[in-house]
Structure 1
Amino acid sequence: MWLNSYYVLKTKERGRKNYSLINEWVAFNIGKLLDVPIPKAHIIKIDIKDKSSYGLLFDYKLPVDYLHVCHVQNIPVWKFLSKLRNVDTFSNLLVFDIWINNKDRSSNYGNLLVTKKDDSYYYYAIDHALSFGGYYLDNESKIYSKNQRYVN
């Protein structure tokens, strides 16, 4: 089933407290609850015996349905804004990003995939690894510290 599709794979780095997979998974589920357009995601464990046959290097993967996008380029989302069919969900995306403390949406053109289907464009929110304060959390680097100030 998944061998004939396109996927984006996030991996867990060995030897570091890398919470990127957890951040992606939690953000995916919150995004779905808020009706944010977001590709399907799953956490899978690939048996170590099967890794080499798929060309994989890590045990745990987060395969995200890549929506059959063959060409990816960094284009500011405002260039597509008037053409998007699901622009009405941008308010959901804004609430979502505030709720998960996503600091990565405003950089790199927004981390949105834009796909074309039947002469219409749709956006999908991707890349939530830096949510919840980042992906390398330890005792010195918590989601909230007494020195941080947030203005809502």
Structure 2
Amino acid sequence: MMEPIAYKRKLEGKSNAHLITFNDGKDYVVKYFQAGFEKSLPNEWVGYCLGRYLDLPIPFAKIIDIPQEFSSKFPELVEMSKIPYQFASVYVPDCLDGHRASNICRITNHQSLAGIILFDYWLNNHDRTRKNVLLRKEALHTYRLWVIDQAEVFGGYAWQLEEIENLSAGLIKSATHQMMAMFIEDEQEFYEQLELIQTIPILLVEEIVTLIPDEWNVSKEERKAMVTALVTRRNKELPDIMKNFIKKVYRPLHDCIENLKSLKNSRP
């Protein structure tokens, strides 16, 4: 059984994340349930499970129950320890976020990038900023990419029923998506990822949503709306969103890259 053994620090950001060491010897980023962010933990759980099923580079995570005896020792945690069950994901060390990594010439796990972009559009994640990707340097100008923080899928960390039933089908203004798109070698990768998303069993989606702890206060109607949004969106809206992204973002980027290469090669 996983148990916390040392509190390290509160992490930057609005998602109320804390770095805690557990008895398996690993550090975890632990997010506590908090008022005003009621859907952040359910979002994290559903996003994590679906992302891992798609084999996306998302750190291992699980729902845990940290004993009140531990949380009560730290002023940062004591007020939040009354709600059982938190969301904990393995801390990935030695990484830079997208703002601090520079001169990125190669991403070693580039095969995952089309899947990440479609995953964000499927779950309507408008928070794929440079702070929510991690880059671990593996060689000169060469990085492995991880995605973190799915707290704002379904449109936000405090979505209401009427909002999840009317998710946006437009393109997301994301410099991070543009950066990732530059390293996708063939647009056919988008179609392969779309097929994978569309073949996820509906029963699996329902089971993931069912496993959201009751203490996180997601109503029966909201759970049903989450499943309906995911199943409907992947079939009716995601294909058009994907084609729009390829047309307006992916192809222009790669046309620009090819033009720059041609210009460089033409110089005497």
TM-score by length of structure 1 reads 0.77
Ranges in structure 1 where 5+ consecutive residues have no aligned partner: none
Specify which structure has the higher proportion of helix.
2
Alignment of 1:90-105 (within 5 A): 90-105=113-128
> In structure 1, what is the Cα distance between the partners aligned to 2:109 and 2:98?
20
CA deviation map 1:19-51 (0-9, x unaligned): 101101100111011111001111111121232
Q: Which amino acid aligns with 2:55?
A: D
Work out whether 1:36 is the aligned partner of 2:56.
yes
> In structure 2, what is the Cα distance between the partners aligned to 1:110 and 1:54?
27
Across the two proteins, how many residue pairs are aligned to each other?
144
CA contact (8 A) 2:124 2:168 kept: no
Q: 1:23 to 1:149 in 2, by over 3 A?
A: closer
In structure 1, the partner of 2:92 is 67
* Sequence identity (%): 31
Cα deviation, residue 142, structure 1: 2.3
What's the Cα RMSD here?
A: 2.8
* Structure possessing the higher relative contact order (Cα contacts under 8 Å, 6 or more residues apart): 1
TM-score by length of structure 2 reads 0.47
Cα deviation, residue 109, structure 1: 1.8
In structure 1, the partner of 2:149 is 127
Cα deviation, residue 78, structure 1: 7.8
Ranges in structure 2 where 5+ consecutive residues have no aligned partner: 3-21, 171-240, 242-268
Alignment of 1:52-91 (within 5 A): 52-53=72-73, 56-57=77-78, 58-59=80-81, 60-69=85-94, 72-75=96-99, 79-80=103-104, 82-91=105-114
Work out whether 1:12 is the aligned partner of 2:36.
no
Work out whether 1:138 is the aligned partner of 2:160.
yes
Q: Which has the larger radius of gyration?
A: 2
